[in-house]
Amino acid sequence: MRFVAPDIAWAVRITDQGAMEILRTTDQMKTWRKCAPNGDWAGASADTVTYAKKHRRHDSLMLDLYAADGNTAWIVIGATHNYRREAYVVGTRDGGDHWTGSWVAMANDIEVLNLQFVDAKNGFIYEHLRPAANQLLRRIYRTQDAGNTWSEMALPDERRFPDVEWEACTFRTALDGWLVTLENLHGEPTTYCTHDAGKSWQAESLHLPAKLEGGRSEVKLPQFFGKEKRDGVLGVSYLTDKDDLMLFYQTHDGGGHWTPAGKPPIHVWGRSKDYSFLDDGTGWMVVENDIVKTDDYGKTWTKLPTAVPLWVTDLESDGFQLCFVNHRVGWIFVPWFKNKLLQTQDAGKSWGQLFPSFRK
């Protein structure tokens, strides 16, 4: 599910009958309209549903949705095409009334696809494997013509970064991107960035606060804000034998420099689910079954008076989403608990469950 405005969102779901549907709402999630592409969509979606059922997964296993606004969205779907594993990418610019699609060759062992667009023409597909409990990034594909054609982009040279396993990637512009790795067992947390669309990559260490040592760190993907996306926040999960911490770093030059946002780091007790920031540095995070809020890019946090229901945080969910679109309206989406959707209209102080209806 992707939220783009207080009253507009897009979603992809697999029905109880095994059909895949693209949905769009324009009335604060009360009703959803089906937006079905034509052409190869039917075959690609049926293959993806079969694959999901085979692996008992109904999340974003072989599909992903990226929505830029209420009219513009793209979807990538893993499928078998011409006897090989490929991805079908469809896009719309008129709210889902009309779609155009293209095929992209994929590796046969790919299990997870992620999709991102940074503007109307430039986008990226990220291929992942999911061995055991981890997720490994294998390839990145890039489009410069709104998804009509795709080409593979180079990952960092293994000879320069030996024994590094890539987990996820995001781009701020068509040229500027960041890779994060699996859990770092030693040393300072590190990101890997490119400023030339993957032609070269550099390692960037994030300095830990004093007295933090001997722990394991996991760097989260950075989030950038504003029209120029110069301001940003990056979270680091830091686990020791005695504590579980979340540290935040901030940038105001598009990721050129990252500085610690606050001291001390916030204690999350292993149950931090997700966080969401606005352009001015206001952010929210789910910790245990509490909502905490910051007004200064994560320097200080305040617990809000009303907790979210326990079932929201009791389940481990890869697709858990917390999203605020302004200072009052936000959502929590829990796909593994029968697609439960919560909404707040008072900046996270209280939450109510929504029961949307679907129409053609």
Q: Please report the pLDDT score of residue 254 as a whole number.
A: 94
Query: Cα separation of 124 and 118, whole Å?
Result: 8
Token pair listed for 43: 């075959």
- Residue environment code for 33-66, b if the CB has 16+ CB neighbours within 10 A, otherwise e: eebebeebbeebbebbbebbeeeebbebbbbbbb
- Whole-structure pTM value: 0.85
* SS3 of residue 313 by DSSP: helix
> Residue 341 in contact with residue 333, Cβ under 8 Å?
yes
Token pair listed for 262: 């606050």
Q: Please report the pLDDT score of residue 242 as a whole number.
A: 75
Q: Please report the pLDDT score of residue 195 as a whole number.
A: 95
Q: How many CB atoms lie within 10 A of CB 4?
A: 18
Q: Please report the pLDDT score of residue 40 as a whole number.
A: 54
Q: Please report the pLDDT score of residue 59 as a whole number.
A: 41
Q: Please report the pLDDT score of residue 300 as a whole number.
A: 86
Q: How many CB atoms lie within 10 A of CB 107?
A: 12
Secondary structure of 15-49 in HEC code, one letter for each residue: CCCCCEEEEEECCCCCEEEECCCCCCHHHHHHHHH
Q: Please report the pLDDT score of residue 338 as a whole number.
A: 59
Own/partner pairs, 274-282, CB within 8 angstroms, 24+ separation:
274/320, 274/321, 274/322, 275/235, 275/322, 276/322, 276/323, 276/324, 276/330, 277/223, 277/225, 277/233, 278/225, 278/324, 278/326, 278/327, 279/225, 279/226, 279/231, 281/231, 281/233, 281/250, 282/324, 282/327
Q: Please report the pLDDT score of residue 281 as a whole number.
A: 87
Q: pLDDT (tens digit, 0 to 9) for every residue of the chain, 360 residues total?
A: 888 988 999 988 776 666 677 889 998 888 888 887 655 565 555 555 555 444 444 344 577 899 999 999 999 887 766 667 778 888 999 998 888 888 888 776 667 788 999 999 999 999 887 655 566 888 899 999 999 999 999 888 888 888 788 888 999 999 999 999 877 766 678 899 999 999 999 999 888 877 777 778 888 899 998 888 999 999 888 887 777 788 889 999 999 999 888 766 666 655 566 889 998 889 999 887 788 899 988 888 888 987 777 666 655 555 678 999 999 999 888 765 556 788 899 999 998 888 777 665
